[in-house]
């Protein structure tokens, strides 16, 4: 079986793995799906928010969606961002209004990304012991 090619992420060569199709948050199973950017733009336009979106999380259908056209290096960050949104929801209801939730998620995303990248032994410890 051939090894996956390594790509450079922040100057470090890494093998990228496939995005998982589901995850569990707050006792709900969410799906993760890649869609073309035009479909994301259409869904977001129907939902109401304005702006450019590389992904979204839908608390009604319990899904996280990311744009397939993103670089392979950007997809994990988008998925992490949307997974954090799912964590901010209790029983599928947002615990904060959207703008405040977005600020909290962006803040946590940056710190969690740094934590994951810079502390592989800590992440391994959590995987083995939580």
| 6 belongs to a structural domain | no
> pLDDT tens for residues 62-107?
999 999 999 888 999 999 999 998 888 766 566 677 788 888 899 9
The pTM assigned to this predicted structure is 0.76
Is position 13 within any domain? no
- Asked if residue 47 is part of any domain, the answer here is yes
Decide if 83 is inside a domain: yes
**Domain assignment of residue 78, yes or no:** yes
Question: How far apart are alpha carbons 19 and 34 in whole angstroms?
Answer: 9
Report d(CA 80, CA 21) in Å as an integer.
Answer: 13
Within a domain: residue 7? no
pLDDT in tens, 31-58: 999 999 999 988 888 776 666 688 998 8
Per the structure, how many domains does the chain have?
1
In which domain, by residue range, is 33 found?
Answer: 18-129
How far is residue 83's CA from residue 30's CA, in Å, rounded to a whole number?
Answer: 9
Instruction: Indicate whether 85 belongs to any domain.
Output: yes
Whether residue 95 lies inside any domain: the answer is yes
Residue 102 CB burial class (10 angstroms; 0-12, 13-18, ≥19): middle
């Amino acid at each position: 079986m051939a090894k996956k090619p390594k790509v450079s992420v922040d100057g470090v060569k890494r093998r990228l793995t496939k995005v998982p199709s589901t995850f569990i948050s707050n006792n709900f199973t969410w799906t993760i799906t890649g869609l073309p950017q035009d479909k994301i733009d259409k869904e977001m336009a129907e939902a109401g928010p304005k702006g450019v979106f590389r992904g979204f999380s839908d608390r009604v259908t319990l899904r996280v969606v990311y744009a397939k056209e993103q670089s392979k290096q950007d997809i994990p960050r988008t998925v992490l961002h949307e997974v954090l949104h799912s964590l901010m929801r209790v029983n599928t209801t947002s615990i904060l209004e959207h703008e405040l939730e977005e600020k909290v998620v962006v803040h946590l995303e940056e710190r969690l990304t740094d934590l994951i990248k810079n502390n592989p032994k800590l992440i391994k410890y959590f995987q083995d012991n939580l």
